[in-house]
């Protein structure tokens, strides 16, 4: 299993999106991920034109690390969601996702879709919005596949979205779209909050899940001792049981010596079965 760090360019600080990320320009991100013992980075890119494909590619090759996924989280910080009630905002979100899929396709990696899908607005029949979601997901799946990427749907916390909040719902949507450009991503923080069993939820997604975010409760990196942890030996054994051999990403710790804790996390995960 490839283990990667969630990372972004420094301008993310101005968005207020998330602070627990490795931050820097591509060369610095790749160098730090390598120094900390990780296989790569999952990138939350800035607006189009802020970081070029060539710059990213050179950094990855220089430090022999991988880009494991492109994360769409920054779209939410811009107020853009695919199911926004305002058509012009939906159109901007679609355009931004196509930018991300184009970027990800240059490296043959997927784009994640969690909170940026948005919520089902009130005031209209749910069937209307679900039909719209189907059209949007299918369109982006086709676009992504043509670009060399795929869109990976993740179930989200109820607080972040009222739409597709369980593994069963996400699995049903992946099967409904039924396209190689549309897959599944899981987040253990969300699984712990929503599902009766993290391990059984993972089994439910067997054959469909293509990427993971690994968190202890509270979105704390595993193995840091900052919160009571999940049963990582069992979780990683379940991943092996379902034949998962893809990538998984972690964030930096919210407090403490983040560099030391990042090393502790990757060492811990490898010691309990991440390879």
CB atoms within 10 A of CB 66: 18
- 13 belongs to a structural domain: no
Report the distance separating Cα 66 and Cα 248, nearest Å.
12
- 167 belongs to a structural domain: yes
Phi, psi at 76, each rounded to 5°: -60, -40
Per-position pLDDT tens, the chain of length 275: 999 999 999 888 888 777 699 999 999 999 999 999 999 999 999 888 888 999 999 999 999 999 999 999 999 888 999 999 999 999 999 999 999 999 999 999 999 999 999 988 776 666 788 999 999 999 999 999 999 999 999 999 887 888 999 999 999 999 999 999 999 999 999 999 999 999 999 999 999 999 999 999 989 999 998 777 899 999 999 999 999 999 999 999 999 999 999 999 999 999 999 87
Q: What is the pLDDT of residue 77?
A: 86
Which residue's entry shows tokens 């695919």? Answer: 82
3-class state of residue 3 by DSSP: strand
Q: What is the pLDDT of residue 14?
A: 82
User: Any bridge partners for residue 43, and if so which?
Assistant: 7, 70
For the domain that residue 84 is a member of, what is the CATH number?
Answer: 3.20.20.150
Tokens of 39: 């296989």
Q: For the whole model, what pTM was predicted?
A: 0.95
Q: What is the pLDDT of residue 123?
A: 64
Q: What is the pLDDT of residue 157?
A: 86
Nearest to 193 by CA among 181, 201, 183: 201
Report the distance separating Cα 58 and Cα 30, nearest Å.
10
* DSSP type of residue 115: G
Instruction: Quote the number of domains for the chain.
Output: 1
CB atoms within 10 A of CB 153: 23
- 41 belongs to a structural domain: no
* DSSP type of residue 216: B
Q: What is the pLDDT of residue 207?
A: 96
Q: Degrees (nearest 5) of the Cα angle 112, 131, 163?
A: 50
Q: What is the pLDDT of residue 124?
A: 62
- 53 belongs to a structural domain: no
- 54 belongs to a structural domain: no
Give one word for 266, left, alpha or beta, with left for phi > 0 and alpha for psi -120 to 50. alpha
* DSSP type of residue 155: -
- 126 belongs to a structural domain: yes
Q: What is the pLDDT of residue 202?
A: 98
Report the distance separating Cα 144 and Cα 139, nearest Å.
9
CA distances in angstroms from 263 to 3, 69, 89, 197, listed in the order given: 12, 21, 40, 28
- 151 belongs to a structural domain: yes
pLDDT digits (tens, 9 = 90+) for 201-218: 999 999 999 999 999 998
Q: What is the pLDDT of residue 49?
A: 81
- 36 belongs to a structural domain: no
Helix and strand element counts for the chain (H, E) = 10, 9
Its domain, for residue 177, covers 72-274
Q: For residues 214 and 34, is the Cβ–Cβ distance under 8 A? A: no
Q: For residues 264 and 20, is the Cβ–Cβ distance under 8 A? A: no
pLDDT digits (tens, 9 = 90+) for 223-248: 998 777 899 999 999 999 999 999 99
């Amino acid at each position: 299993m490839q283990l990667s760090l969630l990372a972004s360019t420094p301008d993310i600080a101005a968005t207020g999106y998330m602070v627990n990320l490795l931050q820097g320009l591509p060369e610095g991100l790749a160098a730090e991920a390598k120094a900390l013992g990780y296989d790569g980075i999952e990138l939350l890119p800035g607006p189009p034109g802020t970081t070029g494909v060539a710059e990213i590619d050179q950094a990855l090759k220089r430090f022999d690390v991988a880009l494991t996924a492109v994360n769409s989280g920054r779209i939410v910080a811009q107020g853009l969601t695919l199911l926004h009630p305002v058509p012009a905002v939906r159109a901007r979100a679609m355009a931004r996702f196509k930018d991300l899929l184009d970027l990800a396709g240059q490296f043959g990696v997927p784009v994640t879709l969690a909170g940026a899908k948005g919520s089902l607005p009130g005031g209209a029949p749910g069937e209307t919005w679900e039909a719209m979601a189907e059209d949007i997901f299918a369109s982006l799946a086709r676009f992504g596949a043509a670009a060399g990427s795929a869109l990976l749907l993740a179930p989200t916390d109820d607080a972040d979205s009222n739409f597709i909040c369980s593994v069963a719902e996400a699995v049903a949507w992946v099967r409904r779209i039924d396209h190689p450009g549309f897959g599944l991503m899981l987040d253990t923080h969300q699984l712990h909050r929503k599902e009766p069993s993290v391990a059984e939820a993972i089994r439910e997604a067997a054959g469909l899940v293509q990427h993971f975010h690994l968190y202890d409760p509270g979105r704390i990196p595993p193995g840091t001792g900052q919160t009571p942890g999940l049963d990582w030996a069992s979780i990683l054994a379940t991943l092996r049981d379902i034949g998962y051999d893809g990538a998984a990403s972690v964030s930096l710790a919210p407090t403490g010596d983040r560099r030391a804790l990042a090393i502790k996390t990757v060492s811990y995960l490898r010691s309990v079965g991440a390879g």
